[in-house]
Structure 1
Amino acid sequence: MTEKEVVSKYLSFNESIEPNLTLPTACSEVDLPEDLISRPLPLSHEWIVWEQLNVETRKDLDYSNATKPVARFSSVQQFWWLWHNIPQPSELLKGKRMIRESSDGSKSVVDAVILFKEGIQPMWEDPMNATGGHIHFRAWQSSVVPGELDTMWNNLVLAVIGGSLENSSIVNGIRLVDKLGGNKGNIRVEIWFSDFSNQSAHQALLKEIETLMSSLLDGTSCEPPHFEVKSHSKSKPDAN
């Protein structure tokens, strides 16, 4: 490494935070054989990307019909193509909103981006979720460091879809929920898992998540967020 080279600190694809860590730049700096680039690199599971529309601006919708699948991916290449088109959490902190335009030209605010394993719906009523629970934390707009938030989210997504968590078998999916419009603006991140009764498994998952979410690219660590764990069978769904 030369003296002019700077090690990126945050795993963020928001160019205002890490201008040298855009996806095209990162890919161009890796010297890979052409056949490897073109060959699909399959993931262990197929994943569905869902959107949850804001039900307050769409009175004709409830949670179940406001939450729809919009894309799917089963390879590394498909994932990165999709991820390049989804805003980073830090962009939402600056007032950017995710918008879905319908075929009739109407526009709706997207409240949440959701990634779930194929065959599992992001509803508490789904059999894989009904007896499970979720781990969540809130990133408060007034205090969160944007680059740290992006790093936490991207670290989590890559670990979950890549199956690198030791307890990945119990993970059903993850949600990024935009709650910035309220008096106490925040972004909520949720990790949904199956079988809440298996305390040792989801507590081990929590410890893994705490470690990976606090890890920065330069080898340092940030303060992990405060996590809460909820049982789906003992509590009501969070509003939106």
Structure 2
Amino acid sequence: MFEESKPEEHHTVDDDNQPEEGEIVTGDVIDTSSSSSASVEKHPLEHSWTFWFDDPAAKSKRTAWGSSMRPIYTFSTVEDFWSLYNNIHKPGKLANGADFYCFKKEIEPKWEDPVCANGGKWTMTFPRSRSDNPWLFTLLAMIGEQFDHGDDICGAVVNVRSRGDKISLWTKNAANESSQMSIGKQWKEFLDSNENIGFIFHDDAQKLDRNAKNKYSA
């Protein structure tokens, strides 16, 4: 479905208008879910999704975590996704320390969000600048509702770090072990990964930080 619906050339931008390294896009927040075109038939997604970006240049140790995070774009069709995806930097082009999120609309990618509060996350690690394809495949599986327990998924994030990139899949009901295990196993299948991955409760991560232990593994 997604491969056949990729945008044509007129959806891309000129090189002169491409964002600089470390940025996502230029311009203000745009909600594409309200856009329409009489000449182009669009294929709606089951959910609307929002891209969020946490710019490392805006982060400060003196400010609360997440205060520099901002929504970038909201999309609700296959065509809008590809139009946006083709005009934003991939993880390999982002500056060290950047965090790029894709979450269901109205869910903020924060532990404090009511939908995320009782959840957790699966995490995979990748060598620096090797997360572009896994990130795309994660997005396609997520917004394409390929998971059997897709209703339990909040969104995904890619963390760009010098020691290696991380992609995490956030869920909303960490205590439901069968649901989390299904999501973790399917995610590995979609990415054709043999890596042993772990699931951490958000509550443990808040209390123990880096000392939080995996509750599930797949």
Q: TM over 0.5, yes or no?
A: yes
Change (3 A) 1:63 1:57: closer
Equivalent residues of 2:54, 2:70 under 8 A apart: yes
Identity of aligned residues (%): 23
1:79 and 2:81 equivalent? yes
Equivalent residues of 2:58, 2:68 under 8 A apart: no
Change (3 A) 1:79 1:56: closer
The residue matched to 2:49 in structure 1 has which SS?
A: strand
Q: May I ask how many residue pairs the two structures share in their alignment?
A: 178
Larger Rg: 1
Q: Out of 200-209 and 37-46, give the one that drifted further.
A: 37-46
Equivalent residues of 1:174, 1:189 under 8 A apart: yes
The residue matched to 2:140 in structure 1 has which SS?
A: helix
1:233 and 2:203 equivalent? yes
Q: Provide, for residues 36-57 of structure 1, a one-character-per-residue CA deviation record: whole Å limited to 9, x for no partner.
A: 9811211001111101122675
1:111 and 2:98 equivalent? yes
Equivalent residues of 2:7, 2:83 under 8 A apart: no
1:200 and 2:197 equivalent? no
Write the letter of the residue equivalent to 2:124: F
Aligned to 1:154: 136
The residue matched to 1:175 in structure 2 has which SS?
A: strand
Equivalent residues of 2:43, 2:79 under 8 A apart: yes
Extract unaligned runs of 5+ from structure 2: 1-5, 12-36, 211-218
Q: RMSD of aligned C-alpha atoms?
A: 2.8
Write the letter of the residue equivalent to 1:134: K
1:211 and 2:181 equivalent? no
Equivalent residues of 1:51, 1:70 under 8 A apart: yes
Equivalent residues of 1:51, 1:110 under 8 A apart: no
Cα distance in 2 for partners of 1:189, 1:197 equals: 21
Query: What is the correspondence of 1:159-198 to structure 2 with a 5 Å cutoff?
Result: 159-180=141-162, 185-198=163-176
The residue matched to 2:137 in structure 1 has which SS?
A: helix
Cα distance in 1 for partners of 2:88, 2:115 equals: 27
Cα distance in 2 for partners of 1:44, 1:76 equals: 10
Cα distance in 2 for partners of 1:213, 1:85 equals: 23
Change (3 A) 1:166 1:36: farther
Structure 2 length normalisation: TM-score?
A: 0.72
Change (3 A) 1:158 1:59: same
Q: Provide, for residues 51-108 of structure 1, a one-character-per-residue CA deviation record: whole Å limited to 9, x for no partner.
A: 112267546643232111111100111111110022233xx2xxx435xxxxxxxxxx
Structure 1 length normalisation: TM-score?
A: 0.66
Between 1 and 2, higher relative CO (CA 8 Å, sep ≥ 6) is seen in 1
